[in-house]
Structure 1
Amino acid sequence: MNRIKIINILALFVLLINLVGVNIASAGANDIIIMGSSQSKNSVSNGDAFELDVYYKNASGETLENVYVSVDKSSAFYIDYSYPQANELGTLSSGQEGTTKFKLVYKGTGNELTLTFDYEKGGSPDQFSQTLYLSVKKEKEPTSGGSQTNTSEYKPSFRIVGKINSKQEGKNLSVEFPIKNISNFSAKDIQITMAADSADSPFTASTGHLSIAIDEIKPDTEKKINLDLVVKPNTKSGTYPLKLELRYGNSYGDIFSSSEVIYVDIENNDKSPSLILKGIEMLPKRPAPGDKFSASIELENLGTLDAKDVKVTLKGFSNDGIYSELTGVSYLKTLQGGKTGKLNFNLIVSDKINVRSFPIDIAVDYKDEFGNSYNESFTYYVPIQEKSEGKVSLKIDNISAPSGVVAPDKDFKVAFDVVNNGTKELSNAKVWITVENGLICKSQSIVMVDSLKAGEKKSFDFVFAALTDATTKNYPIAINVEYDDEGALGEAKGKQTITQYVGVYVENTKEEEKETTSTPRIIIDRYSISSGNAVAGKSFEIELSILNTHRNIDVGNVGISFLADEGVFLPAAESGSTIFVDEIKAGARVVKKLTFVTKYDAAPKSYLLNINFEYEDDKKKAYTLKESISIPVMQEQRLEISEIQTGMEAFIGQTVPVTLNFYNMGKSTLSNLMVKCKGDFDIQPGSDYFVGNFEPGRSDYYEAYIIPNKEGQIKGSVVFTFEDNKGEVNEIEKEFEIFVQGGPGMVIEDPMMIDPNMMGGMMDNSQGGFPTRIIFIIGAISLVAIIGVVVLIVVLRKRKKARADLYENF
């Protein structure tokens, strides 16, 4: 009993706290729902005690703590005083179901049991009540009596019994449940309507107004009720209360009203509209300064509900960047859920722009079908093409130097050409020569070039001589050209220098004849490369001839190491960076082979390979010497060509477009690039395309128009010819095939010879009007004209697509 008293005190304490601190208006209307109940004894009479099991569920969507349930004093029942006056349910997690048991006593009047739930939700106290109607002993419905009878006391009572079934198809919801008259009095003219007092209700009637009429429900009788509802599109999935208003009468004409609440599960996968920037298509795809271009902005609705009154505003314009040709605002009336929509803008790139990309802010405003507003913002960087004013590209070509031995005090020449193989005129170039000690340049060593037009070359020659005391060895001569580099868009201007090396071998015989005990020297007197040139990214073998120039002294313990300028040459795995020679006799040679690998990104020019010698003479005296040789590097040409497009159909005598894209994927310029088309067909004039110098990273497209002159499968090819950086001519051929048909329709050799009877009398001109032959001729001419227009449209579309691809790839 002490335990019961303690629990009762705790329950009373909880109730007092709730009476003081609970804001009933804020309680969740469906935080806890009663799923059903079960009586241990039916038809209880006054004073009867019985047990009641109540089945409940936490439908709040979150955890409820310190949950207690008690019986309201207004009920027709009370909890047996020997039991706790409140049941403790503890903590209920979201969606948790449970059962609690009450020991009840019937007061003798009515059948209402009101249960009050007290709990904490989100740290704040809350309270919720729900009324059940229990089975009590029935009273007999009175017969017509005297005037003293108060018939309004004969009130029918209803209770939702059994399971509530719901079936949902999209937004349409069908709800079925049984309602039972639990009183001893018949209910007449029952009207059931859906309460519309809450704007938060997720339900609407399918017909705009819900009203169900039932003639009669007798005592202790059930009736199936079917409701057709529509779920509001923005409703989240969950369990929701549906309040029903009942209006009815008894057998004596008295009118009553009451309400019932049922709980309905809703599964709603609808999502509010949500617009994203799917992409922007520009034409041209990389506009240059001063260009007008169109921007097609594509939006995608990730929601399932429609977006209404879509407004797109472009912002961030400036007079020295990008600005709109019109207002910069565009509209879409509706963008359906899961669909995409495009809005077009006409924009202009200022000729003062000085950046590679320009940011455009995109503001998107829209509404859903309920009038709720949304807004999104995106930023897109418009790529800017460098204004096509051409580009300077120089190379040093046709170098000539003595191939034999050069003697001291004898003049020799080194000649070469400087070629502008770019597309823009060069100005303010400087050409100069640098040599090692032992050589002198007798000509003016620095020459200025005021201008050099695109494709033009200028020849130079310089006179050199070896000094009287020049050491016998190979001397590198550096040819340097410095010119102004205009810089790319948005980058600073600067100077660009190219350098090529040429070597001459000086042999000083007087020194050797004069000195029999002089310092022994070893040199590289000749060398050769197996492939003629070092190719970037590949290995090459070099053969070195190492000469002991002294006539009398042997050298030994010779160590030779190698180091290339800019690290462009690295020893291969099978070769080391150092070689060793035991002995080189006086005046003798030793030949060694080494393998190097060239860096893949080496620019096509000559590089110095520096050679260090360490050796001893016959008296074990140590010496060191340095040599260098020049090795030219080439880059492999990589001209990539797309698949050839030839349209959909081809007919004899009709023009067929042949289009393709091509790209320089290598690191060297393709000079004098020419593109032609050839094959078993006629070619429209102007189909040859001279590209000129095709720089690395550049892309372009080619189109030709051919006219087939025979039926069946015909073959053709597009031929590319160009010069590499060695001046050699290369040719690449891309083949294609086309199936040619005889014609798009009937071929009429002589329309005047067509027999009118061929048309089965359908073109009989006996009733007057145009003669049949004239009508047929006009029809044939019209057919040819229509075909011509269709072909023209296809060609124009192909050309437009090719240009768009060009801009994109560039």
Structure 2
Amino acid sequence: MKKARLLIYLCALLVCTVAGSVEVSADTALNITQVTSKDNINIGDKFDLTLQLNTATTDDTKLIISASSFYVRDGLISRSVKNKASVTIPLECKNLDDDKITITFDYPNDTSTKETLSLDLLPNSSDSSSTPTDTKKYAPKLAIVNESVPSTMAGNNLELDLEVKNTGSYTAKDIVVEFVPPTDENFKYEISTISLVDKVAKLKKEETAKLSYAIAVKSTTPPKTYKCTIKYTYSNLYGDVTKDEQDIYIKVTKGYPAIDLAVTDVTTTPAVVNAGEEVNLTLKVNNNAGMKTVNKVTLSLEGLAKDGVSGFSMTNGVNSKDILNLSPQEKGNEVTFSLLAGSDLKKGSYPLTLVMKYMDTEHEEKEIKKEIYINVNSDSDKSTDITIQNVAAPTGRITYGKSFKVGLDIQNTGEADLKDVVVTATGVDNTVMMPMSQNVQVVENLAVGASQHLTFLFQASDLAETKNYLINFEVKGKSDKDKETPTFSQYVGVSVEGKQKEDDNSTTSKPIIIISDFVINPKIVNAGETFDVKLTFMNTHRDKKIENIKVSFSAEKTTDTDAQKVGSVFTPVDTSSTFHIEEIGPKQTAEHEVTFFTIPSAPAKVHNLDVTFYYEYKGADGKILTETLYDAVRATVVQPSRFITSDIRVPETVFVQEPVNISLEISNTGKTTLDNFTVAVEGFGSSNSRQYLGNLEPGNTTYYDVDIFAEQPGDVTGNLIFSYTKPDGSDEIVKKEIKTMAQEMQMPDMSEMETGNFDQMKPEEKKSNKMLYIIGGSIAGIIILIIIIVIIRKRKKKKELEFDE
């Protein structure tokens, strides 16, 4: 019966519009007349909406109002329509996000029956005065609000799941969103979906919609962050169209290249070549990091000498070798070049360039170049200033993971003193032979005939195989005239017992992550300052990727007893000490850069910056396994050097060649030792033009005493030059200016002094110096005193004669 009554109501309603300002749309037969109190509805307008019912209800039917863009002025969103032919609802427009008002009829005797009627209210764009209203000001605003940057590896599909949001105050409709791929010429892609255009019917204020696009990024695309463009076209409720653009970014990481050639096991026979001898250069080429077989690789050498005297030349005239069908599974193919070392070659290390040409999978010719160095020894070379002697290395086999020392003596065999001799120790395979101490050492001074012993600490990593590995010592320096000495190298072999590994093709082998390279800028870190660390992480496994990688830094703690100085030596700047890497493919790398602050109280030494890796990988049964590994980066920290001196006092005027004493206190006010502290005099003659004061410890005071003199009359300006060696090995020079007026010493004329005629002295001579006045006055006083004594004695004698008479 109630449902029949509802049907009668629905069939009885009549729809009409007043002044064309309100439209009615409903999928029901209710006859409702809507009447507004004004012709135009804009934000802030108040009006009455009258719903006139054709037949009044006899039961307690409730009318419920719901409207997001309007609110009921009397606050009654639910009211009874019992025995009412019409209902007036006082409304106010608060925004134009939604053009609908929903009216729900709720029947109390049958709670399962509710009828809903939606009424479209389209505000008029002209007011009663016929003055046009600028409806464009009711424009919505769309934006992509994804927080993370989409990322993919080169050679994979980039799945773009974007979220577009209406961040404005007004509803947007008829929305068209187009994804425009990067215009960078290096970005190579193909469209994986039917279209890069998506459509959304309507977005109210703060509403969002999901968009999906897909493109295939080619393997030749370089790893980089690329800029894309999102183009919007949409309109507001009045039909005013808006076109807008937004830049978003996508990240492409290094993927699995189809062909990736590498050169390993470069050896020469003999290991050190003498000038004029033949040598076989042997190397191995592999494609282990690639994904597909390369059909043909052609190898040749660049940098060969044409005359066969000043460089290396081919002994058989053939400078081309081919490798056919090199697959990723092969461990590598050996190639040997037969060379002749020129008879004029001096001792040192000489580069040749290995050129590898091949056709990639897209039938484009590719070329890879790699530098190769060959050691040359020449007994006839008498000009070499430095020699390496007594190279020391472990005689037995070193177990992987254990540290060991290598050492050598460098000797100055030239005819001039040397300075700033730099010795670098590097593992030929730097992923296996890793330095555990500073691998660059500097000898500041090396006198003729003198030698210096240097020691370096290394460790063989988990990647080591059971075989012999080379460590290269490279030496270069300067003469005391800043002339560069020839750079030369020498190798030492270390026998390593590698880790027992499973078959490389086994699915049960565990992937390892290492720090394959790191760069600290600046290389020497000042306490109290920031420095950057750029790290390269490498997945050493040949066919397994690692995922969900968490990398954490933990700096070593200070041992200072001062409570304010306890804590980490290094602190990350504007970032966390932990960061995340999504994945690293087999034999691939990922880079990350962090800025650290060094606490001012950090001791001057080499500090460890410990790195912890936590990551996941798939086991043989497909289950996710986890692993935690540790590594470290080492940073050399130095304290700033400072010193102060007591006041430097020099008389305003001096005589030429007259010594003046300067005595100073010099105090080390810094936190580091000032080595080889020296003071020199510049611009003046001195009793000791250069004085060595030794090493000045922090907080200590030393003394400096010297006699200086002007060598020429006039204004004399010079310097006291303080020099010392800082903890990082560099020299610090500080100059403090000293100046005075020097003049010649002028003596008075002796004949004038004897006659006592001092008044006839020239005015210039009187003004020459205060010392002249003192000397002249003293002599005149003595003469006057003698005259007085003579006169007194004569008078006394005369009186005695008169008394006798």
Scaled to the shorter chain, the TM-score interval is: 0.3 to 0.5
User: Over alpha carbons, which structure has the higher Rg?
Assistant: 1
TM-score by length of structure 1 reads 0.36
TM-score by length of structure 2 reads 0.36
